[in-house]
Chain A
Amino acid sequence: MKKVGRGWLEAAPFLLPNLLGFAAFTAGPVLFSLMASFTNWSLTKPGSVAFVGLQNYVTLLLDPRFWLHLANTGYMMLGIPASIFGSLWLAVLLNRRLPGSTLFRTLLYLPSFTSGVAIMILWKTLYNPDYGPINQALEVLGIQGPNWLLSTQNVLGLKVESAGMEWAQFGIGAKDALVLMGIWTSIGGSSMLLYLAALTNVPVELVEAAELDGANRWKSFWGVVWPQLAPTTFFIGVMSVIGGLQGGFEQARIMTGGGPAGTTTTLAYSIYSKAFEEFQMGYASAVSWTLFAVIFLLTAVYWKFGSRELND
Chain B
Amino acid sequence: MKPLALGVFGVMVIWTLAMACLTPEQAGPGTRPLIWTSDDNPQRTEQVALFNQLSQPLSVKLDPANQGMEKVIVQSMGGVGPDLFDCRDGAQLSSYVQAGIAWDVTEELSRMGISLQRDTWPAMHPNCLWEGRTYGLPTNIAPNALWVHAEILQSKGINLPTGPWKWEEFIPIAKALTVRKEGKVQQYGFLFDWYNWPHFFRGQGAEVFNREGTRCIVDSPEALRAVQLMHDLVYLHEVSPTPVEEAGMASRGGWGSGTINLFGAKRAATALGGRWWLVNLKQFEGLNLNVYESPHGSHRRFSALGRATLINRSSPRREEALRFLAYLASEPYARLIDRQADGSPAFKAHTGRPLAKPEAGHEVWSEAVRHAVPDWTSPYVSGYVVSRIMGEQLDLVKSGSKSPREAMKTAARQINDGIAKAVREDPVVRRRYEEAMKRVQQ
A46 with B395, Cβ < 8 A, contacts A40-B425, A129-B248 known: no
Instruction: Report B392-435 residues with CB < 8 Å from chain A CB.
Output: 392-393, 395-396, 399, 401, 410, 421, 425-426, 428
- Complex CA distance for A72 and B350, rounded to whole angstroms: 51
- Inter-subunit contact B248/A131 (CB<8 Å): yes
Give min CB distance, B366 to chain A, whole Å.
Answer: 35
| Residues of chain B lying within 8 A (CB to CB) of residue A278 | 382, 384-385
Instruction: Report A38-72 residues with CB < 8 Å from chain B CB.
Output: 40, 43-48, 52, 55, 59
| Residues of chain A lying within 8 A (CB to CB) of residue B6 | 13
Q: List 6 A-B contacts (CB under 8 A).
A: A44-B95, A55-B425, A131-B248, A260-B399, A273-B388, A278-B385
A125 with B100, Cβ < 8 A, contacts A10-B2, A10-B5, A55-B425 known: no
Give min CB distance, B65 to chain A, whole Å.
Answer: 15
- Complex CA distance for A55 and B425, rounded to whole angstroms: 9
- Inter-subunit contact B251/A43 (CB<8 Å): no
A277 with B99, Cβ < 8 A, contacts A40-B425, A152-B401 known: no
- Complex CA distance for A275 and B9, rounded to whole angstroms: 41
Given contacts A46-B77, A55-B425, 4 further A-B contacts (CB under 8 A): A129-B244, A152-B396, A161-B410, A260-B399
Interface size range of chain A in the complex: 35 or more
Give min CB distance, A127 to chain B, whole Å.
Answer: 9
- Inter-subunit contact B98/A130 (CB<8 Å): no
- Complex CA distance for A279 and B393, rounded to whole angstroms: 22
* B94 CB within 8 Å of chain A: yes
* A132 CB within 8 Å of chain B: yes
Instruction: Report A139-178 residues with CB < 8 Å from chain B CB.
Output: 147, 150-152, 160-161, 168
**Which of A48, A150, A160 has the largest number of chain B CB atoms within 10 A?**
A150
| Residues of chain B lying within 8 A (CB to CB) of residue A10 | 1-2, 5
* B252 CB within 8 Å of chain A: yes
- Complex CA distance for A275 and B395, rounded to whole angstroms: 23
Instruction: Report B236-256 residues with CB < 8 Å from chain A CB.
Output: 243-245, 247-252
| Residues of chain A lying within 8 A (CB to CB) of residue B77 | 43, 46
- Complex CA distance for A6 and B1, rounded to whole angstroms: 11
* A276 CB within 8 Å of chain B: yes
Question: Which A-chain residue is minimally distant from B248 (CB atoms)?
Answer: A130
Give min CB distance, B75 to chain A, whole Å.
Answer: 12
- Inter-subunit contact B5/A46 (CB<8 Å): no
Q: By the criterion of a CB under 8 Å from any partner CB, how many residues of chain B are at the interface? A: 41
Query: What residues of chain A have their CB less than 8 Å away from a CB belonging to chain B?
Result: 6, 9-11, 13-14, 40, 43-48, 52, 55, 59, 125, 128-132, 147, 150-152, 160-161, 168, 259-262, 273, 275-279
- Complex CA distance for A5 and B425, rounded to whole angstroms: 53
| Residues of chain B lying within 8 A (CB to CB) of residue A47 | 100
- Inter-subunit contact B73/A152 (CB<8 Å): no
Instruction: Report B346-397 residues with CB < 8 Å from chain A CB.
Output: 382, 384-385, 388, 391-393, 395-396
- Inter-subunit contact A45/B384 (CB<8 Å): no
- Inter-subunit contact A128/B388 (CB<8 Å): no
- Inter-subunit contact B252/A130 (CB<8 Å): yes
- Complex CA distance for A130 and B249, rounded to whole angstroms: 8
Give min CB distance, A223 to chain B, whole Å.
Answer: 50
Question: Which B-chain residue is minimally distant from A152 (CB atoms)?
Answer: B401
- Complex CA distance for A45 and B73, rounded to whole angstroms: 11
- Inter-subunit contact B244/A45 (CB<8 Å): no
| Residues of chain A lying within 8 A (CB to CB) of residue B94 | 44
- Complex CA distance for A136 and B250, rounded to whole angstroms: 16
| Residues of chain B lying within 8 A (CB to CB) of residue A259 | 391-392, 395
* B70 CB within 8 Å of chain A: yes
- Inter-subunit contact A160/B100 (CB<8 Å): no
Give min CB distance, B24 to chain A, whole Å.
Answer: 26
- Inter-subunit contact A130/B247 (CB<8 Å): yes
Give min CB distance, B6 to chain A, whole Å.
Answer: 8
- Inter-subunit contact A44/B99 (CB<8 Å): yes
Question: Which A-chain residue is minimally distant from B397 (CB atoms)?
Answer: A261
Give min CB distance, A184 to chain B, whole Å.
Answer: 20
Q: Which of the residues A14, A43, A260, A262 comes within 8 Å of B99, measured between beta carbons?
A: A43
Question: Which B-chain residue is minimally distant from A125 (CB atoms)?
Answer: B251
| Residues of chain B lying within 8 A (CB to CB) of residue A275 | 70
- Complex CA distance for A132 and B388, rounded to whole angstroms: 28
- Complex CA distance for A204 and B9, rounded to whole angstroms: 52
Give min CB distance, A15 to chain B, whole Å.
Answer: 11
Instruction: Report B53-70 residues with CB < 8 Å from chain A CB.
Output: 68, 70
- Complex CA distance for A45 and B245, rounded to whole angstroms: 44
Contact with A along B204-222 (1 / 0, CB 8 A): 0000000000000000000
Q: Which of the residues B244, B396, B425 comes within 8 Å of A130, measured between beta carbons?
A: B244
Give min CB distance, A277 to chain B, whole Å.
Answer: 5
* B176 CB within 8 Å of chain A: no
| Residues of chain B lying within 8 A (CB to CB) of residue A14 | 5
Question: Which A-chain residue is minimally distant from B91 (CB atoms)?
Answer: A44
- Inter-subunit contact A150/B100 (CB<8 Å): no
- Inter-subunit contact A45/B98 (CB<8 Å): yes
* B74 CB within 8 Å of chain A: yes
Q: Give the top 9 A-B pairs by smallest Cβ distance, nearest first.
A: A130-B248, A276-B70, A13-B9, A44-B95, A261-B395, A260-B395, A44-B98, A10-B5, A261-B392
* B112 CB within 8 Å of chain A: no
Give min CB distance, B430 to chain A, whole Å.
Answer: 13
Question: Which A-chain residue is minimally distant from B97 (CB atoms)?
Answer: A44
Give min CB distance, B383 to chain A, whole Å.
Answer: 10
* B8 CB within 8 Å of chain A: yes
- Complex CA distance for A130 and B257, rounded to whole angstroms: 14
Q: Which of the residues B99, B248, B252, B426 comes within 8 Å of A46, measured between beta carbons?
A: B99
Question: Which B-chain residue is minimally distant from A151 (CB atoms)?
Answer: B399
Give min CB distance, A124 to chain B, whole Å.
Answer: 9
Give min CB distance, A85 to chain B, whole Å.
Answer: 33
A46 with B1, Cβ < 8 A, contacts A40-B425, A131-B248, A131-B251 known: no
A279 with B399, Cβ < 8 A, contacts A48-B428, A128-B247 known: no
